[in-house]
Amino acid sequence: MKSESANKTMKNRPFECLWTQAGVVQHKVCHTDFQCGSCQFDKAMMRVSERNRRFQKQGLKWKGSGSKIVFWKEKMREKPPGKRPCLHSMKGKIQFRICINEYHCRNCEFDQYFDDQHIVHAVVTPIEILDIHGFKLPQGYYLHRGHSWIKLEEDAEVCVGMDDFSLRVTGPLDEIKSPLLGKVVCQGERSIHLRRGNKEAAMVSPVSGIVTALNQDMLSSMKKGKSSAYTDGWVMRIHTDNLRENLKSLMIGDEATSFLSEEIEALYQLIEAEKGPLAADGGQLGHDIYGNLSESSWERLTTRFF
């Protein structure tokens, strides 16, 4: 009971920003659940610390505001080894653990283990899921016009998947083939390959970057009906160095909602062109749209929407 109570307290208490924990800035509480990639404060601090680093390499010193700001990881490395908490401890995900890799997380075996246990197999339910004419779209997710989505992670990484619309259009798939680990993908490039029986199609990558993780369990989970398009149904994770530019081509909020509404209307029109007017009650579309149409509809569906 004591351990359960401690974990509950740890989960509920507000956590200080990483820059405060490192001693770079005074009191500041994290309000983004450590999703640093989407935090404007973190972006501003990174710009200032990078500017100071460049000046230092040139033997100069910035004389204006923020001249003493350094990257929070550099500040943590100045502490004695026993006083350097693991990044996951700083975020409140685990009890105290010492960092033994000088905050080079990408080369840390524990960090990789933590990702496997708490990200790859975790089911994270979005805060609010919108219902758009029977199709689901979670708030906070960015949508590509090719019906792939991204969810911002941390350290310039994003989670990538297929939206509810695309999965219902294709119905149960026999294969979802994503790029190999370490492969470079480009925004708008057809990188996710789908197969149902002898029918094939390809979906685009919503961002450019390097593939850092693959969801090997996605297909089997979906076949068992235990997967959601926006949680454990993700396809891959991508590290991108140009996220801000990539986001310009993606949709979120009202724009994504309007786009999906138009796509649903176009889908109804395509179905009606093949099967005639739908039932007068306008019943919602099922979860295997292609399976309820002729075999030749695969090309029309995937060409129009992917």
- Residue-level pLDDT at 116: 57
- Residue-level pLDDT at 146: 96
- Residue-level pLDDT at 1: 37
Q: What are phi and psi of 171, to 5 degrees?
A: 75, -170
- Residue-level pLDDT at 221: 63
Domain boundaries, the chain: 2-78, 123-306
Dihedral sign for Cα atoms in the order 218, 285, 152, 175? positive
Whole-number Å distance between alpha carbons of 197 and 298: 11
Dihedral sign for Cα atoms in the order 19, 22, 28, 33? positive
| Contact predicate 177/193, CB 8 Å | yes
- Residue-level pLDDT at 63: 79
- Residue-level pLDDT at 110: 76
Whole-prediction pTM: 0.60
Residue 30 Rama label (left phi>0; alpha psi -120 to 50; beta)? beta
Assigned CATH class of 123-306: mainly beta
- Residue-level pLDDT at 100: 86
Along the 306 residues of the chain, how does pLDDT read in single tens digits? 333 433 443 444 568 999 999 999 988 998 888 878 778 888 889 988 998 988 888 888 887 778 889 999 999 999 998 889 999 889 887 778 888 888 888 778 777 666 655 544 444 455 578 889 889 998 889 999 999 999 988 777 899 999 999 999 999 999 899 999 889 999 999 999 999 999 999 999 999 999 988 888 776 666 655 557 887 778 999 998 888 899 999 999 889 999 999 999 999 888 888 876 643 334 457 888 999 889 999 999 999 999
